[in-house]
Amino acid sequence: MFHRFANPTRFLKLADVIQPWIAGATLVLLGAGLYFGLFASPPDYQQGETVRLMYIHVPSAWMAMFCYSALAGSCAVALIWKHPLADLAARATAPIGAAFTFLALVTGSLWGKPMWGTWWVWDARLTSMLVLLFLYLGYIALNNAFDDPQRGSKSSAILALVGFVNVPIIKFSVDWWNTLHQPASVVKMGGPSIHADILLPLLLMAAAFTTYYLWVLLIRIRTEVALGKIRARQMQKAQTGYKG
């Protein structure tokens, strides 16, 4: 199963089947999440209406780490097993993960101003999230820095694997250091510690962001496969013309 979909043709056939379902799930989950987050859930007794920013901020932060984990995993598969689609998946994931990270930082700043009285503080969680954004941007820049695509892919994959150490730092920073961020309140021993009226839209938006990532990932991989075919044909024509 692992090597079966190394063939782009097989992968594209599978993508044709599942992509409409993922797109539909994204729209349904996003609509439900926005409805419960904006209209059906009450304001928080401490945060007031600003709690609604959390329905974007928290899933974005989760997806920023999830996408980087997927990026690092794809890079490992590409380096070890030379799986052609793994490299495409890594390249397709990086811009999506960077967008989620940027969104998490922006919405966190918008929430922090009324709640903390400042747009930014250099605490462990915020600083490590900013480092994550730089890792995404560094991967993208390094991947496109060489004329030889293979050199760019290998160099950027090594950077992604080394940078993965930042993911557990982000996750456990609130436990290891004294930060302004609250500890985990959803995924924790003993179950979530937030009210169900707030937990429901949070989980719906998280599910919507996850299916959105998969939806855009398939689109970007299809685009990368098409661009690869175009480049191969151009090189073939160039070599034919040179020989002629």
For the stretch 24-39, pLDDT in tens is 999 999 999 999 999 9
**Given CA atoms 21, 22, 23, 29 in this order, what sign does their dihedral have?**
positive
Q: 13 or 239: which carries more pLDDT confidence?
A: 13
Global pTM value: 0.90
CA 179 to CA 61: how far, in whole Å?
16
Element (H, E) at 86: helix 84-116
**Contact status, residue 206 vs residue 59, Cβ threshold 8 Å:** yes
DSSP designation for 51 = G
The domains found in the chain, sorted by start residue, are 19-243 (1.20.120)
For the stretch 83-126, pLDDT in tens is 888 999 999 999 999 999 999 999 999 988 888 888 888 888 89
Angle between helices 196-243 and 8-35 (to 10 degrees): 150
